[in-house]
Amino acid sequence: MFNSPNTSIWLAAFASLAAVVNSIGIFTIFKYKAWAEKAKTYFMCFAAGILISVPLILILPKALEKSFYAGFFALIGFLFMFFSNELISKRTKQKSLAFGIVAVEGIGIHSFIDGIIYAVTFQSSILIGVLAATGMIIHEFAEGVITYLVLRKAGVKEKAAMFQGFLIASLTTPLGALVAYPIIRHLGELQVSFMLGFSAGVLLYVSASHLLPEATSHEKEHSQLTFLLGVGLALLIVLTKLL
The answer to whether residue 1 is domain-embedded is: no
The answer to whether residue 146 is domain-embedded is: yes
The answer to whether residue 46 is domain-embedded is: yes
Domain tally for the chain? 1
The answer to whether residue 225 is domain-embedded is: yes
pLDDT for 72: 95
The answer to whether residue 118 is domain-embedded is: yes
SS (H, E, C) the chain: CCCCCCHHHHHHHHHHHHHHHHHHHHHHHHHCHHHHHHHHHHHHHHHHHHHHHHHHHHHHHHHHHHCCCHHHHHHHHHHHHHHHHHHHHHHCCCCHHHHHHHHHHHHHHHHHHHHHHHHHHHHHCHHHHHHHHHHHHHHHHHHHHHHHHHHHHCCCCHHHHHHHHHHHHHCHHHHHHHHHHHHHCCCCHHHHHHHHHHHHHHHHHHHHHHHHHHHHCCCCCCHHHHHHHHHHHHHHHHHHHHC
The answer to whether residue 33 is domain-embedded is: yes
pLDDT for 96: 45
pLDDT for 214: 64
Query: Would you say the pTM of this structure is higher than 0.85?
Result: no
Q: In the chain, which residues have pLDDT < 70?
A: 1-5, 88-107, 109-110, 153-154, 211, 214-215, 217-221, 240-243
pLDDT for 103: 55
| Domain membership of residue 166 as a residue range | 7-242
pLDDT for 75: 94
